[in-house]
Amino acid sequence: MNSTTGHIRSFVRREGRITGAQRHAIEQHWEQFGIKFNHAKIDLGKIFHRPAPKVLDIGTGMGEATITLATSHPGNDYLAAEVHRPGIGSLLRQIAANRLTNVRICNHDVIEILQYQIPMNSLDMVYIFFPDPWPKKRHRKRRLISQTLLNLLKPCLKSHARVYIATDWQDYAEHIMEVFAGDSEFINLAGPGRFAPRPHWRPLTKFETRGYKLEHPVRDFVFSCRK
């Protein structure tokens, strides 16, 4: 249980196997691209050194999709939220290898990042691609997408900001639809109760590939915040 906000974490922090290259990337590049968690608001314009659309990318895994997006859309700035060190090391290594300047990383629970660090009216887009589905019924309380998340997101979003979500778990897709439908400040841009077409720009992730192999239908969502 989170002692500050009282919420149940949507992840289990486990080190996993971290490679030498990932560890080296953390040692060499965290100071430049990492953002330490504290209770102060981040000056996004200052850390990216420019005014540009700001994207919060939640749960970036090993970082391949984030790197593809940041490379393909250099006009956007990407704030990656990831808690697992192997993924952070992998993302840092790729940022340095591609000489990217438009990615920064937060190594902390995104619920607290939203609560304490993201300024009001600062985000243009939020990506939540293939969040942990917590498929067992007793674990579903751990699912990231909840009214708690929405309540923290809304103050941080600009008017008409977009929230993009994808999952390959049908019951989680139904849960997502229900949570957003219950909040009048979000509009389903595909229409009430409808899934969105797959965005052409969304990279194919290993989780999506695995879902296809398991014959799981991939569901996309696009919501707008009517502030």
Sign of CA dihedral 93, 95, 99, 104: negative
Using the structure block, give the residue that is written with the tokens 């981040």. 42
3-class DSSP state of 81: strand
Evaluate whether 114 touches 148 at the Cβ level (below 8 Å): no
Tokens of 29: 């590049």
Percent helix, percent strand, percent coil in the chain, to nearest 5: 35, 20, 45
57 is catalytic: no
**Residue 208: DSSP 8-state:** H
Annotated catalytic residue within 124, 132, 183, 220: 132
Evaluate whether 69 touches 78 at the Cβ level (below 8 Å): yes
Task: Give the closest residue to 127 by CA, choosing from 223, 13, 11.
Answer: 223
SS (H, E, C) 11-74: CCCCCCCCCHHHHHHHHHHHHHHEECCCCCCCCHHHHHCCCCCEEEEECCCCCHHHHHHHHHCC
Evaluate whether 154 touches 227 at the Cβ level (below 8 Å): yes
Residues with a catalytic annotation lie at 132
